[in-house]
Structure 1
């Protein structure tokens, strides 16, 4: 029996997928490769999904042909013909009658210089921090590499083999189903970025099911600039303001702040006002099966405008300004500002409902409304994190007894 996540999965609904986004320097399209497994009580299979532009392919394989390592990220499909790891991406697939695919692919890529997101503490691992310890979450998410350098060869169908190079990104998801509503985006290529500078961004906003039939709007955002990581997420008590989403034009915009209102990250997508931009339709786990319903945009028609600022209070208010922060004496020192290209973007489900959930949760949270709490967090945030972790660990221990 193959091992998934170091455990032998015997029964139940489960999926795990690894996501490789590859932007090739000499190739006009972004390529996405997603190997994974899906199982329910009556069916198990492994798969390799490949997408570019508005085209996607889904290749099925017997579950028994996979293998994985418990010591490192190393996953193979079809009796080790297809290999996926931090430093290797080898794919050799041709469509069969059971596949939803029409093209063949051969990739032999070497990945190097992976930019890993460091853990905050051992008790706050990965991208999800303390939520990684919560059992029975619907979906877990982890960024494996914010950026990786790619070299190798690629062949599609009977076309000539190409020598290629580019930039990549790697993440993984696992659990029993994707959320019902989410927004997800990623980019690590920028217009006019100096060769001596680097930047990468990942963001995910979703409606998260919780215990006792409750649900909450949660988010994970990581921005890297010159190897320094800025994290904005639910478990760190970050705050989102002014979330706006237009599912028709695929334009989104939001501002996110850390709990102390020391940093502000602005993200907006820009699509030239185009409606109904074509995207690749991907399979995703829903209920107990893989369904083709996830629209991912891999087009050059969409960009991300990103600005990271440090908030500074100069104690001089301006009551005539419409900006609430300026009214209260805050101004921004810009750390990074740029336009990302070759982005990936997903907007799925009733995102207007998600936007309303975020508005209800954060609309009245500003630094001038809770200065006492900010002071407490500033001096005792490590203690608060330890208390939170102890509560979570006690809950897990009680559930496991």
Structure 2
């Protein structure tokens, strides 16, 4: 007779198998709770507001998240608009509009950095402000930064059921919404980025290019002068001397013509189930993967009254947003939705170094337990391709257990002055669970042609120029079924967005494996 106090061999085996899994789950939960406890201890008020905001808006990632957050927070919506070119005389034109709000960490002393333009509410840190950034302007100056007092940022978003994708904010006299934009940016809100800030940015960008280049050539190969590929100091002085200008414009893109990202309770946003972690350094949301620009016009009005315009009627749009505490220290971002053979399709890549337990915990570990600092950052991947003709979403992101990214590389062609991001990814075929699909991508841009973009800087504790963004890169991609060899689509895209920032070698080393 079997002793009832002992399970049968089959059950015992099941218990043995379940025990490590249970321990893993318990360890993960303990790590998450420990990270939250440490962050609450370091800054209880701001963290409580940040956590609660992320929980409250879990299924509304596009809504404004900063209602009750007073420090250490940023949020920005990203509207990318591209009009495809037809000939050499009618080239592709692209631009990005980025409205947002920035609240710096609590100052270490009562003294705070003075505002360069515009006042602030009484008691408000002078570094806190709302902003509108524009990249790809017509005319001499390709980018502009408009700064507004916090009080001129107004959330007009809807909280009604069925309006999860609706958002609307007003900054000054400009309105940004899920279905349109009205621009009215006066010249007295224009903030010229200091020459010293741009020079520091171009110097750092040149060094990043050199490190990437060194990783792909022999050690004795002569180093190219990447700084010479960016605007010269003379050019920067000329830009700094330009008078402030106003920008006006209007864009319309109906909600009914947009391509939203499919969501569910498990995957409430592009971040999948990781959206349930309320303390991440940076969060990501996608409003529309692709939509037509029904009407689009932007005008630059100089102090003398001269007007330069760009027309985007018939163009293609894409909308996303970021919010959180800070941008990652290292990332690659790429996006394109203007394909030749598969119109309406869209590709999005975002791979970054993620302080998985939060930036405060990572900083504490690197200071007090440096031997463990490498364990606090992991590579995170968001990668989706939407095939419009079959209405199929291929998801290669980190939270898809069957998916993986391989052979991530950033290479340089000095003679042609080109930088290329290439990779291969695999995942289960959503149309056939027994099949695996592979995606191969190359995204290429001309070195030095990107536009400088400000971002929240954790080290400088302010908005600082830190990103070279290109909005007219080129993309080549191929998607096929690995078992049968059937090519689903092989295509080229234009008007691609591309950013390459930080220690890219760190990312490359974590995606070296190849099984194809």
Give your verdict on TM over 0.5.
Answer: yes
TM-score after normalising by structure 2: 0.60
Q: Which residue of 1 aligns with 2:133?
A: 49
- Report deviation, 1:247: 6.0
Alignment of 1:384-399 (within 5 A): none
Larger radius of gyration: 2
Alignment of 1:288-327 (within 5 A): 288-299=461-472, 302-312=473-483
Q: Which residue of 2 aligns with 1:178?
A: 327
Does 2:359 align with 1:206? no
- Between stretches 94-103 and 68-77, larger displacement belongs to 94-103
- Report deviation, 1:266: 0.8
Contact in 1 for aligned 2:82/2:312 (Cα 8 Å): no
* Residues 294, 339 of structure 1: alpha-carbon distance in 2 compared, 3 angstrom cutoff: same
Q: Which residue of 1 aligns with 2:176?
A: 84
Does 2:496 align with 1:343? yes
Does 2:93 align with 1:29? yes
Q: What is the alpha-carbon distance in structure 2 between the residues aligned to residue 309 and residue 90 of structure 1?
A: 42
Alignment of 1:252-291 (within 5 A): 252-258=421-427, 262-271=436-445, 276-287=447-458, 288-291=461-464
Give structure 1 stretches of 5+ with no counterpart: 313-330, 368-401
- Report deviation, 1:222: 1.2
Q: Which residue of 1 aligns with 2:400?
A: 236
TM-score after normalising by structure 1: 0.77
Q: What is the alpha-carbon distance in structure 2 between the residues aligned to residue 66 and residue 268 of structure 1?
A: 39
- Report deviation, 1:263: 1.1
> Which has the larger helix fraction?
2
- Report deviation, 1:305: 0.5
Q: What is the alpha-carbon distance in structure 2 between the residues aligned to residue 109 and residue 97 of structure 1?
A: 21
| 1:159 aligned to which of 301, 307, 313 | 307
Alignment of 1:89-168 (within 5 A): 89-96=181-188, 99-100=191-192, 102-112=244-254, 113-119=257-263, 121-152=264-295, 153-157=297-301, 158-159=306-307, 164-165=312-313, 166-168=315-317
* Residues 198, 70 of structure 1: alpha-carbon distance in 2 compared, 3 angstrom cutoff: closer
SS at match of 1:115: coil
Contact in 2 for aligned 1:304/1:340 (Cα 8 Å): yes
Q: Deviations over 1:133-185 (max 9, x none)?
A: 10210000011100121133332223266654111000000001100000001
Q: What is the alpha-carbon distance in structure 1 between the residues aligned to residue 308 and residue 326 of structure 2?
A: 39
Q: Which residue of 1 aligns with 2:211?
A: none
* Residues 105, 98 of structure 1: alpha-carbon distance in 2 compared, 3 angstrom cutoff: closer
* Residues 138, 6 of structure 1: alpha-carbon distance in 2 compared, 3 angstrom cutoff: closer
Contact in 2 for aligned 1:38/1:45 (Cα 8 Å): yes
> Which has the larger strand fraction?
1
- Report deviation, 1:61: 0.5
Q: What is the alpha-carbon distance in structure 2 between the residues aligned to residue 188 and residue 206 of structure 1?
A: 21
Q: Which residue of 1 aligns with 2:16?
A: none
Alignment of 1:338-377 (within 5 A): 338-359=491-512, 363=513, 366=515
How many residues are aligned here? Answer: 332
Contact in 1 for aligned 2:290/2:345 (Cα 8 Å): no
SS at match of 1:130: helix
- Report deviation, 1:358: 2.4
SS at match of 2:96: strand
Q: What is the alpha-carbon distance in structure 2 between the residues aligned to residue 225 and residue 250 of structure 1?
A: 26
SS at match of 1:5: coil
- Report deviation, 1:277: 3.1
Contact in 2 for aligned 1:5/1:70 (Cα 8 Å): no
